[in-house]
A and B are shown apart, each in its own frame.
Chain A
Amino acid sequence: MSATAVHSLWTMAGGVTSAAPVEKFKAPVIEYTQLAPVLIVIGVAVVGVLVEAFVPRRARYYTQVFLTVVALAAAFAAVVGLAAGGYGTTKAHIAAMGAIAIDGPTLFLQGTILLTSMVAVFTFAERRLDPASHGKHVDSFAAQAASVPGSDSEKAAVKAGFTTTEVFPLVLFSVAGMLVFPAANDLLTLFVALEVFSLPLYLLCAVARRKRLMSQEAAVKYFLLGAFSSAFLLFGIALLYGYAGSVSYAAIANVVDGSVTQIDPALADTMGNDALLLIGGAMVLTGLLFKVGAVPFHMWTPDVYQGAPTPVTGFMAAATKVAAFGALLRLLYVVLPGLAWDWRPVMWAVAIITMLGGAIVAITQTDIKRLLAYSSIAHAGFILAGVIATTPDGISSVLFYLGAYSFVTVGAFAVVTLVRDAGGEATHLSKWAGLGRRSPLVAAVFAVFLLAFAGIPLTSGFSGKFAVFKAAADGGAGGLVVVGVISSAIAAFFYIRVIVLMFFSEPKADGPTVAVPSPLTMTTIAVGVAVTLVLGLAPQYFLDLASQAGVFVR
């Protein structure tokens, strides 16, 4: 663009400004009650930071756990209140000056995120699994995150009985970001939310008490790759702005489907240029697919899932996936429906390689956490099949699947925290041999989760998988369903293999023991099992709920 052109743009813009009457400054309208879930969580997170500063060390743990649980419960109550007030259906609208959409999917996903976070937080607060160190109960987190692993300062911190109670405010910040992520109604809010929930997660990954080097390695990888993906996302946002002259979902959608043709003179060269739209859209998709762990953006998953403290892994695997899929759904259904013909084939391919890739590579895994990581990749593929359906059923089936899957995941990782030997959690599969003989109850519970992952009837996994596959088939993606079923068959192999290993192998002499947890972890596991069975045996109410909630506001 030549200098004169730039000049003329400037002058024109200035001319317009000067010609128009000066607008009075209008205070933004913020619907605080409708944002209450997010505000409660963020507010308590801030309080949590203050607690770290002012409350004596002894009382911090109890204060933080109490605050966190209360915050999540209150936020959930707020979500239920909003849903009961009709904000999920008839009163759904765009709030906060266009930044946040309050509608069915938002409330459904926020509710799911809050509930899974709550049960996940119970495992954060678990202090009975590790033997007491120097007379103090310890949890899964490092005594002092800042000290170098193996250094004297770490030993001193351990000896002093420090604990990293900062994890609780971090979780709340992360949850707050996740609550905004699927509700974001413009690209900038989307990006901010992404960063708000990602940064605390990077930190949380790094603070494992045991195997800290691995934990830190995982955090660094996650951070680097997360930053890389954020860059794609941000660049995509820029391109989309260039295309539409706005970052608002509705405005972009209007330009995409051609209902707004008026060109913003400042963007005369780029507006309406489909190349920008396609490239920008693809890059934003990249950012979101990274978060859901779709192939080929999945490679961080196994390393991070394995290295992060197991409670964090459970939280991350469940809640992040819910938030990210929510954002993905909104992007595809609200911003880019006019482009369905362009993105569908690409997403087909992504879904297929995600399902197959996750399932196939999982076969040869020997670590239970990595196995579950690959399993989560395969599940991301299954959910993508529902996303691609592009029908109302597609939305509601994905919502249902996310609800079902997140509880199974939190529960499964909670069980992983129980199986321990001298080095902490015994995550190598060979150590799980014969677990069913030694601890039949724990093995049986884990078997229930595995069967749910495998999608065996009478578990929530079956209801969810059936719903997304049905939606995909009805939406004209029959081929995806075929691949999905084949992948499920492959996946069933490694799930069942673990069951066989637990129940039909001789226990090893030096095998791990199963720690008896406090009621906290027990609650997590019990809730996981209960939800798994209820959604498997009587899913109809929740399917109806999901289908009521499955309408996006524009």
Chain B
Amino acid sequence: MENLIALLVAAPLLGAAVLLCGGRRLDRAGHWLGTLLAAVSFVIGVVLFLDMLGKGAEDRTLHQKLFSWIPVEGFQADVAFQLDQLSMTFVLLITGVGTLIHIYSIGYMEHDERRRRFFGYLNLFLAAMLILVIADNYLLLYVGWEGVGLASYLLIGFWQHKPSAATAAKKAFLVNRVGDMGLSIAIMLMFTTFGTFAFGPVLEATGETSEGKLTAIGLMLLLAACGKSAQVPLQSWLGDAMEGPTPVSALIHAATMVTAGVYLIVRSGAIFNAAPDAQLVVVVVGAVTLLFGAIVGCAKDDIKKALAGSTMSQIGYMILAAGLGPIGYVFAIMHLVTHGFFKAGLFLGAGSVMHGMNDEVDMRKYGGLRKYMPVTFITFGLGYLAIIGFPGLSGFFSKDKIIEAAFAKGGTEGWILGSVALLGAAITAFYMTRVMLLTFFGEKRWQPDAEGHEPHPHESPKSMTIPMIILAFGSVFAGGFFSIGDRFLNWLEPVTGHSHGHAPVSATTVTAATMVVLVIGVAIAWTMYGRKPVPVVAPRGSLLTRAARRDLLQDDFNHVVLVRGGEHLTRSLVYVDHTLVDGVVNGTAASMGGLSGRLRKLQNGYARTYAVSMFGGTAVLIAATLLMRAV
């Protein structure tokens, strides 16, 4: 069975190689090949999963060593895989949702000349993401980490003829570099601390290591997670990343890649458990981001950017849960999976809407679409109910658990975190209701564009609706399936560990409170957008609204502090380089040249001078030798 693990990666990797190197002659079949290989990977994943289910919890972890990567004395790195319950969960999510989105893309990208290339990049992404989650050491994980970054860059900028897309891709890449730097520093620290970077030895050795070092490693890992998962302060790229094709937003920037940070933290749980300070920073980041993303999501009129804000916020929940330690790990992953279903479904729904609306993204120009695209409406609606935590749907179970766990952290901290999580739930209900109302309810607000084409909203083709329907099933049932009988908890506990904490309030109370805030959120949205007609041109809005429309001034902040600051720093460094460094260098060179010019005059061409030099040299040699003895 172990030998199948490498095939998980090999299938999409082969697809990427063939599609990207194959050239034009593959144009007609390329998308089928890409989809087939993604499906193959999924089937292998399912086979491995069934095999794993057949074993006891103790020996479910599989290892496969492919080859020795860097065999140097004292520095051993292997290309080796480890498949345990945590990796398995990700493998199924990535290949499952990935396959669905491949299918969806066949329809969505039908009219794009570079569809083959698109599928090549998608396969590349799958391969890299799978390496990331099944690597058995941090160095190989880093390979996957960079690989998904590359795929993300290529796919955000897929329509590179649009300057906005090219810029967005670059922005995503640059911001991610900051996080990647964190990961590489963390890996170096691990190597100096533990002498290895394999998961097993590193995570087992945390007990004998000083807390200071673990805190440093933890903070660097968190920095990495912030970059990849768009958490404050490295969140600014996610909104722009929506420039990529919608399937990309669904797969990479909602369901899988952006959750890599959560995976990293949960995988490194032993490090964080032993470094409470780092853990505290993790929950703070999670809590801040969950509010930040939610507020941004409230103000956006672009349907994809509103969903992007939501993604940020939901990942904030996961990071928060992961920062709670063993109380929260399982729920972080559970929310991650359910979020994978409903957020991918929501994005695919948004893509379907855009597909029918001539790629219009402004929700103020939608309205009343439920009549025109019923399947999209229903699947989107189910995703909507799932994300706001409507009782019985996926989000209800997973988010509720996180809120409970936040309270269970205990003390003032627990109260603060719990309240933030509750507040986030209210805002989630508000902004998602807003998206729903603006898009599918009310009057139709679309108008002919500049060339007089009026959009004719229509339902999307089967290749697009079927994945949406399947994901809608997941959105509805996954949470319940996982939670009833604590299935998910029992599945993951051997890997992540679990503790119940000591909740100050009962689970029922928390659920009740969640319901109350849910109703409040929906009600406010209804009064603002459901009862009265929505203006096509956005009103000026309050100060907060305007700030939220500008992503809470994140870019302005980055510009003023980092860009300007960086420019000033660069300029002063250039000044120092020009005056001081170059001065010393040029001065040295000039003085050498001068010295050389003077010394060469000694070489005057007269043999007598040369003889004197020799004679003098010998005299000095003798004198010095005698002197040495005398001393």
Contacts and interface: CB of A to CB of B under 8 A. Distances in A.
B622 A221 contact: no
Contacts of A363: 592-593, 596
Interface string B607-631: 1011101111110011011101100
A364 to B, nearest CB: 4
A361 B617 contact: no
Contacts of B600: 361, 364-365
B625 A221 contact: no
A361 B626 contact: no
B607 A357 contact: no
A490 interface: yes
A345 B628 contact: yes
A482 interface: no
A296 B611 CA distance: 10
A290 B611 CA distance: 11
Given A221-B607, A283-B618, A297 B628 contact: no
Nearest to A346: B624
B625 A290 contact: no
Interface in A230-280: 232, 274-275, 278-279
A220 B607 CA distance: 9
Contacts of A232: 614, 618
Nearest to A279: B622
A274 B626 CA distance: 9
A506 interface: no
Contacts of B613: 296-297, 299
Given A220-B607, A221-B607, A286 B621 contact: yes
Interface string A331-354: 000000000011101100110000
Interface string A281-294: 11101100010000
Contact of A361 (B603, B611, B622, B628): B603
Contacts of A285: 621
B506 to A, nearest CB: 70
Contacts of A282: 618, 621-622, 625
Contacts of A453: none
B614 A349 contact: no
A290 B614 contact: yes
Counting chain A CB atoms within 10 Å of each CB, the highest count among B599, B603, B616 belongs to B603
B448 interface: no
A521 to B, nearest CB: 30
Contacts of A279: 622, 625-626
B607 A364 contact: no
Interface of B is mostly: helix
Contacts of A342: 625, 628-629
Interface string A381-405: 0000000000000000000000000
Given A357-B599, A360-B596, A364-B600, A225 B607 contact: yes
B592 A224 contact: no
A297 B592 contact: no
B610 A225 contact: yes
B617 A286 contact: yes
A299 B603 contact: yes
A302 interface: yes
Contacts of A300: 610
Contacts of B1: none
B597 A364 contact: yes
A364 B610 contact: no
A225 B605 CA distance: 13
B625 A278 contact: yes
Interface residues of A, number: 40
B595 interface: yes
A530 to B, nearest CB: 30
Interface string B558-598: 00000000000000000000000000000001001101110
B341 to A, nearest CB: 55
B629 A274 contact: yes
B534 to A, nearest CB: 66
Contacts of B625: 278-279, 281-282, 342-343, 346
A320 interface: no
Contacts of A297: 613-614, 617-618
Nearest to A299: B610
Given A225-B607, A361-B600, A296 B614 contact: yes
B593 A296 contact: no
A295 B599 CA distance: 12
A349 B617 CA distance: 11
A112 interface: no
Nearest to B593: A363
Counting chain A CB atoms within 10 Å of each CB, the highest count among B592, B610, B611, B621 belongs to B621
Contacts of B599: 357, 360-361
A362 B597 CA distance: 10
Contacts of A286: 614, 617-618, 621
A228 interface: yes
A510 to B, nearest CB: 27
Contacts of A346: 621, 624-625, 628
Contacts of A490: 592
Interface string A201-224: 000000000000000000011001
A303 interface: yes
A299 B629 contact: no
Contacts of B597: 364
A229 B621 CA distance: 14
Given A220-B607, A225-B610, A275-B626, A296 B596 contact: no
A221 B606 CA distance: 8
A345 B603 CA distance: 27
Nearest to A221: B607
Contacts of A345: 624, 628
Given A302-B603, A342-B628, A364 B614 contact: no
A296 B597 CA distance: 17
B498 to A, nearest CB: 55
A341 B624 CA distance: 12
A220 B611 CA distance: 13
A342 to B, nearest CB: 5
A180 B22 CA distance: 67
A7 B404 CA distance: 120
A493 B593 CA distance: 11
B617 to A, nearest CB: 4
Given A225-B614, A297-B617, A364-B600, A278 B607 contact: no
B610 A221 contact: yes
Contact of A283 (B607, B616, B622): B622
B600 to A, nearest CB: 5
Given A221-B610, A274-B629, A360 B592 contact: yes
Contacts of B626: 275, 278-279
Contacts of B610: 221, 225, 299-300
A342 B624 CA distance: 9
A346 B629 CA distance: 11
A357 B617 CA distance: 14
A346 B621 CA distance: 7
Contacts of B596: 360-364
Nearest to B631: A345
A218 to B, nearest CB: 10
Given A286-B618, A342-B628, A361-B596, 11 more contacts: A221-B610, A225-B610, A228-B615, A286-B621, A295-B617, A299-B613, A345-B628, A360-B599, A361-B600, A361-B603, A364-B600
Interface of B: 589, 592-593, 595-597, 599-600, 602-603, 605, 607, 609-611, 613-618, 621-622, 624-626, 628-629
The 8 A-B residue pairs whose C-beta atoms are closest, nearest first, are A296-B617, A299-B610, A363-B596, A364-B596, A282-B622, A286-B618, A221-B607, A282-B621
15 contacts: A221-B607, A228-B615, A232-B614, A278-B622, A279-B626, A296-B616, A299-B614, A342-B625, A342-B628, A345-B628, A346-B621, A346-B628, A350-B621, A360-B599, A365-B600
Interface of A: 220-221, 224-225, 228-229, 232, 274-275, 278-279, 281-283, 285-286, 290, 295-297, 299-300, 302-303, 341-343, 345-346, 349-350, 357, 360-365, 490, 493
